Amino acid sequence: MNKIPFVTKEQLDEITKTYPTPFHLYDEKGIRENVKALKEAFSWNPGYKEYFAVKATPNPFLIQILQEYGCGCDCSSYTELMLSDAIGARGADIMFSSNDTPAEEFELADRLGAIINLDDITHIEFLEKTIGHIPETISCRYNPGGLFKISNDIMDNPGDSKYGMTTEQIGEAFRILKEKGAKEFGIHAFLASNTVTNDYYPMLARVLFEQAVRLQKAVGAHIKFINLSGGIGIPYTPDQEPNDIRKIGEGVRRVYEEVLVPAGMGDVEIYTELGRYMMGPYGCLVTKAIHEKHTHKEYIGVDACAVNLMRPAMYGAYHHITVMGKENLPCDHKYDVSGSLCENNDKFAIDRMLPEIALGDYLVIHDTGAHGFAMGYNYNGKLKSAELLLREDGSVELIRRTETPADYFATFDCFEIGKKLI
């Protein structure tokens, strides 16, 4: 596939008159079209609901767009719960899935009426002691162990994952929870990350649907929903074809009718928690070439760094780069595109073939809409960039300001030194 930025050089020339680089830019039109396609793909299930993974892009302005289409919030921390509460998510609009969970997070989730998804069987007792009861609707995270394969391809290794309960544990958990007053149950699982195949969700669905049938028979628990969680990926590299969400939805429907309907479980609601798929392609990091270096390699230094996008430094992840205004020129120059951190892995690209880059050129780093800004940090005292929304009408809206030194030093405000810093 040909990766084309959703913003033009002319638009960037105008945007940067007000908002200097670097910044993350999001595409409202793309986000809206994507969520509508997702809802259509699962419209066969009357109870279907997408719980957007707040961790992927914790910006209320973006999540509110998804709310317009009935999406809820998938939260995993106290502050994510706070954010969801602030934008009006209530009760069953919040799914709380955490691990190694502090008591105060369970307390807040309960106060907000969120659906709590337990990661471990020991959390049953911990939850009851913490909030004083077991909610009538509750979910458990399932981990079947072993390898998760599609054909002969290993997609991931759930057996090495710290998340979820074993087959035996989830059965016992359902029995305990039912005895303690739970009436409606959910099953959740996440077995592979960032899959670029239409087969993952249907195969995951079969694993969960068959387990749901066994649990209902063995325990007599009414299973209200099955949460397929995340894992539908995006094509970071140009040679990958994007997932077809309609084919994925149809694949899940077929398995639903093969497994759940004959078991008398045709009322089960299907939930998803898609962060990367919902936002990833609809965000980019815009940065400017500010230095060049000619040593053992050819370097282009940009004004962004791993603070703005950590994935290449942390994982060696590929993010496509477009040199704006030079989209049709030959990629005949080999560069390492680097940031300014005092870490050698602070590189957005290594030995990347690109058009010749001149100082002042804008570089658009693709697919940063999920796990982009969110994973940023403040190493070297670097400050996180602004977030902007490119509206459908072509206007641009600031949806998060750039951090300031005062933000960075704010946790010293209770000390005398803070007066000199802030």
Does the structure show a pLDDT above 80 at 158?
no
Cis amide linkage into residue 22, ω under 30° from 0: yes
Q: Are strands 49-53 and 269-272 parallel, antiparallel or unpaired?
A: parallel
Which residues 6+ apart lie within 8 Å of 207 measured at CB?
Answer: 144, 189, 191
Q: Is residue 18 part of a domain?
A: no
Q: What is the pTM of this model?
A: 0.95
Task: Count other Cβ atoms within 10 Å, centred on residue 70.
Answer: 12
- Residue 148's pLDDT band, with cuts at 50, 70 and 90, is low
User: pLDDT digits over 92-135, tens only?
Assistant: 999 999 899 999 999 999 999 999 999 999 999 999 999 999 99
- In this predicted model, which residue has the larger pLDDT, 190 or 154? 190
| Domain CATH number, residue 398 | 2.40.37.10
Q: Is residue 3 part of a domain?
A: no
The per-residue DSSP string of 182-204 comes to: --EEEEE----SSB-STTHHHHH
Q: What is the mean pLDDT of residues 153-169?
A: 73
Sign of CA dihedral 107, 208, 221, 89: positive
User: pLDDT digits over 291-330, tens only?
Assistant: 999 999 999 999 999 999 999 999 999 999 999 999 999 9
- ∠ CA(248), CA(25), CA(85), 5° rounding? 70
| Domain CATH number, residue 235 | 3.20.20.10
Query: What's the pLDDT at 380?
Result: 96
Does the structure show a pLDDT above 60 at 151?
no
Can you tell me whether residue 377 is helix, strand or coil?
coil
- 241 and 317 in a common domain: no
Sign of CA dihedral 24, 28, 29, 35: positive
What's the whole-number average pLDDT of the chain? 95
Query: What's the pLDDT at 160?
Result: 62
Does the structure show a pLDDT above 80 at 147?
no
Report the DSSP beta bridge partners of residue 270: 226
- 294 and 176 in a common domain: no
Query: What's the pLDDT at 157?
Result: 60
- 275 and 285 in a common domain: no
- 335 and 242 in a common domain: no
Q: Domain range spanning residue 274?
A: 28-279
The amino acid that residue 120 corresponds to is: D
Q: Is residue 417 part of a domain?
A: no
Q: What is the mean pLDDT of residues 45-59?
A: 98
Rounded distance between C-alpha atoms, residue 212 and residue 226, angstroms: 8
- Residue 76's pLDDT band, with cuts at 50, 70 and 90, is very high
Does the structure show a pLDDT above 60 at 155?
no
The per-residue DSSP string of 55-100 comes to: GG---HHHHHHHHTTT-EEEE-SHHHHHHHHHTT--GGGEEEE-SS
Name the burial class of residue 111, with classes exposed (0-12), middle (13-18) and buried (19+) by CB atoms within 10 angstroms of its CB: exposed
Q: Is residue 15 part of a domain?
A: no
Query: What's the pLDDT at 154?
Result: 46
The answer to whether 156 and 191 have CB atoms below 8 angstroms apart is yes
Query: What's the pLDDT at 163?
Result: 85
Q: What is the mean pLDDT of residues 237-262?
A: 97
Structure tokens at 11: 């638009």
- ∠ CA(10), CA(328), CA(15), 5° rounding? 15
Does the structure show a pLDDT above 60 at 279?
yes
- Residue 2's pLDDT band, with cuts at 50, 70 and 90, is confident
Rounded distance between C-alpha atoms, residue 360 and residue 219, angstroms: 65
H-helix or E-strand containing 104?
A: helix 103-111
- Residue 159's pLDDT band, with cuts at 50, 70 and 90, is low
- 310 and 287 in a common domain: yes
User: pLDDT digits over 355-388, tens only?
Assistant: 999 999 999 999 999 999 999 999 999 999 999 9
The answer to whether 233 and 196 have CB atoms below 8 angstroms apart is yes
- 319 and 206 in a common domain: no
Rounded distance between C-alpha atoms, residue 404 and residue 413, angstroms: 14
- 288 and 254 in a common domain: no
Query: What's the pLDDT at 16?
Result: 98
